Structure 1
Amino acid sequence: MKKILVVNVNWVGDVIFSSPIFKALKQAYPEATISCMAPLRVKEVLECIECLDEIIICDEGNVHNGIFAKIKLILELRKKKFDAAFLLHRSLTRALFVYFAGIPNRIGYDTKKRGAFLTHKVDWIEVNDVHRRDYYLNVIESFGVKVNERRTVLVPKNEVTQSVMTILRNNCVEDNDRLIIVNCGGNWDLKRWPKENFVELIEKLIGEYKQKGIKVIISGAPTDIVLVESIVEQLKEKPIVLVGKTTLIQVISLMSLAELLISADSGPLHIANSVNTDTIAIFGPTRSEITGPKGKGKAVILQKDIECNRQPCYKLDCDDNVCMKAITADDVFKIAVKIISDKGK
């Protein structure tokens, strides 16, 4: 095969879980051009994935919302004359795109009655029975593609890393400072650690490391600004706040410069772990067996068994969130101190 399309998923963490696919395909088909179709919001993550030659934007919530925009996208795909499409996305619409684009080999899970539009139906695996990375890898493995490296990997761009270092210098970070990054946000409230726990943890970290050349940084997206402001206003000693000041591709470089990231189950957790940065992962309603970090960095998973979270919980109207409250600031701080101490040896 000379031209291969991977129809990817919609969210940062899941796209990172898909990253081993591209290297495996390139090893199996070294002369092939590997393209990926995904929403605009994950483009900067895809730019940091090895063995990916082309990114095609498919944004049904925006530019491809109407029927004529969809037809235009199908025609663009048809012109590229792909030999095969591997569908990681489970939607019927994505299957219709590659079907009407005339791609001869269409490989994916037979979900949502889309089997008639696939040439190779992948035996169904319940999405919460295996890790999400393996769920995606199974699509190419079922087609006979061998996967030699299953770890998730992101490669920061050198020029972007230089821009991040400039941002750090402008925020009173010296080149020889060591960095602990705290990510307070999350894509849904149920996975968020209580903000009072972040206040206590950040106070402890700053108190421990203020005189030791280790800076505490809070990172996050613009949507996290209000949350982080409510945390920082309670702190006597202020951390460096970069929330809303970096692009997604800059976050990838920022994480690569850190000694440690502390985060709940979120995109930044998987970014940091995939650039070989150590992480403390605070899990509550989700399960690390399903969505835990799978990169090169050391990952310490903190999760308390409170019975209702023995399986992934998606009860978004939960008014207690005891699974996250059960993990204390002291739990996290003790592990952070050990990781930083071990790195200093």
Structure 2
Amino acid sequence: MNNILVVNVNWLGDVIFSSPVFRALKEAYPQARIICLAVPRVKEILESIPFIDEIIIYDEKGKHASLTAKLGLIYSLRKKKFDIAFLLHRSLTRALFVFLAGIPRRVGYDTKGRGFFLTHKVKPLAGEAHRSDHYLHVIESYGISVRDRRTQLNVTSQSKEEVSGMLTAENVRPEDEIVVINPGGNWDLKRWPVENFAKLVDHLMNEGRWKVVIAGAPQDVPLFETIISHSKDKPINLTGKTTLKQLMALMQRARLVISADSGPLHLASSVGTDVIGIFGPTRPEITGPRGSGRGAILQHDVGCNRKACYHLKCPDNICMKSISVEDVLTKFNKIIE
């Protein structure tokens, strides 16, 4: 086995969950070159996953939108002379790509009518398996053993230096202990109430031991401003001020990260930092943290969240509101003991 193609998924958290796939492949085929095909928005994460030798970007809405560009991509894949392709993505189009690229062994889920394009058809896992296990199941079905199922991301020395400079500018000394709070989420129902975040910030800052940093994407800036408007104290604001790799370095610098079920929660866990995950409508059995950092999960059974809930027009978001500041602080104190 010389060249292996992994067709990856499209979203930040899911790509993080795919990271143990590459470790297992490299352990099974240490001499092989492992190449990953994925969309542009996850490139930075892929660059941080160990054991990926090359990344091929499929820009389906940009550079590769036209039929001619897609054919050009297929031709470039054919020239690589891959021995095998593992399709973590369930897209019919991607299955067609690897088929037309002439890859002799094609392993993936037999869904969406794409079985014709696969040489090894994988049956989906029964029940509510963790997202990471769905990806690992693809390679396990081919006979590859998985020794370590933890997610892992590498932090660059450059990113560490850049974050150190940011924190120094905020009067954070190397010996100071940091708590990072990520209040954002990719949909509103996964967000803990801003009033609770404000109370949590005040409590941690009043202890005098912690430097509290609020982080997030540029679109989370209004959320940060709302939290500040409810807070007595002002935490350090790095919302929208870091790249993805710098955010990883910040998470690794932290003593603990507090976040809802979102990409930054999994970033933190995957760089080895302890986390508190605040879960409401989603299920930790499916999307809980899988990294080497210790993970404390907070979720209350309110009836409607016994299975993952995607009722985006929920009128009261009771599953997140039911988790109190005291609940979070209890978990926090147990972890730092």
**TM-score normalized by the length of structure 2:** 0.97
Alignment of 1:1-345 (within 5 A): 1-126=1-126, 129-208=128-207, 210=208, 212=209, 214-340=210-336, 342=337
Tell me the amino acid that sits aligned with residue 22 of structure 1: F
The CA deviation at 1:65 is 2.2
In the TM superposition, residue 69 of structure 1 has moved relative to its aligned partner by: 2.1
- 2:50 partner amino acid: E
The residue matched to 2:48 in structure 1 has which SS?
coil
TM-fit CA distance, 1:164: 1.2
What secondary structure does 1:216 align onto?
strand
AA in 2 matched with 1:332: V
Instruction: Output the CA distance in 2 between the equivalents of 1:275 and 1:51.
Output: 15
Instruction: Determine the C-alpha separation between the residues in 1 that align with 2:93 and 2:199.
Output: 46
Contact 2:252–2:272 (8 Å) recurs in 1: yes
Unaligned ranges ≥5, structure 1: none
CA distance in 2, matches of 1:189, 1:72: 39
Render the CA deviation track for 1:285-340: whole Å, top value 9, x for unaligned.
Answer: 01011110111111100000011100111111112110000001111122223323
Greater shift in the superposed pair: 154-163 or 305-314? 154-163
Segment of structure 1 superposing worse, 69-78 or 24-33: 69-78
The CA distance in 1 between the partners of 2:80 and 2:135, in whole Å, is 24
What is the DSSP-based 3-state SS (H/G/I as helix, E as strand, rest coil) of the residue aligned with 1:9?
A: coil
**Is the 2:283–2:307 contact (alpha carbons within 8 Å) kept by the matching residues of 1?**
yes
Distance (whole Å) between structure 2 residues aligned to residue 184 and residue 285 of structure 1 = 16
Q: Equivalents in 1 of 2:231, 2:148: separation in Å?
A: 43
Q: Distance in 2 between matches of 1:139 and 1:103?
A: 17
Deviation at 1:48, TM superposition (A): 1.3
Equivalent position amino acid for 2:26 in 1: K
Please say which of residues 78-87 and 329-338 is displaced more in the overlay.
Answer: 329-338
Hey, what's the Cα distance between the residues in 2 that align with 1:304 and 1:281? 12
Q: Deviations over 1:161-199 (max 9, x none)?
A: 111111111122111111100000011111111111111
Structure 2 residue identity aligned to 1:232: I
Q: In 1, distance between residues paired with 2:327 and 2:225?
A: 24
Q: Secondary structure at the match of 1:279?
A: strand
Equivalent residues of 2:201, 2:233 under 8 A apart: no
Tell whether the 8 Å contact from 2:180 to 2:254 is kept in structure 1 after alignment. Answer: yes
Q: How many angstroms apart in 2 are the aligned matches of 1:119 and 1:96?
A: 12
Query: Unaligned regions of 5+ residues in structure 2, if any?
Result: none
**What is the rounded CA distance, in whole Å, between the counterparts of 1:236 and 1:190 in structure 2?**
26
Q: Secondary structure at the match of 1:337?
A: helix
Contact 2:274–2:294 under 8 Å retained in 1: yes
Shift of 1:234: 2.3
Aligned-residue CA RMSD (Å): 1.1
CA offsets per residue over residues 40-66 of structure 1, 9 Å max, x none? 111111111111101111121332222
Pairwise CA distance, 1:207: 1.0
Q: Deviations over 1:217-250 (max 9, x none)?
A: 0000011111111111222210001011000111
More displaced, 70-79 or 264-273? Answer: 70-79
- Structure 1 CA distance for aligned equivalents of residues 325 and 184 of structure 2: 16
Amino acid at match of 2:158: E
Partner of 1:34, secondary structure, is: strand
Output the TM-score relative to the length of structure 1: 0.95
How many residues are paired up?
Answer: 337
**Identity of matched residues, %:** 58
Superimposed CA distance per residue, residues 62-105 of structure 1 (whole angstroms, 9 cap, x where no aligned partner): 32222222122111111111111100001111111111111111
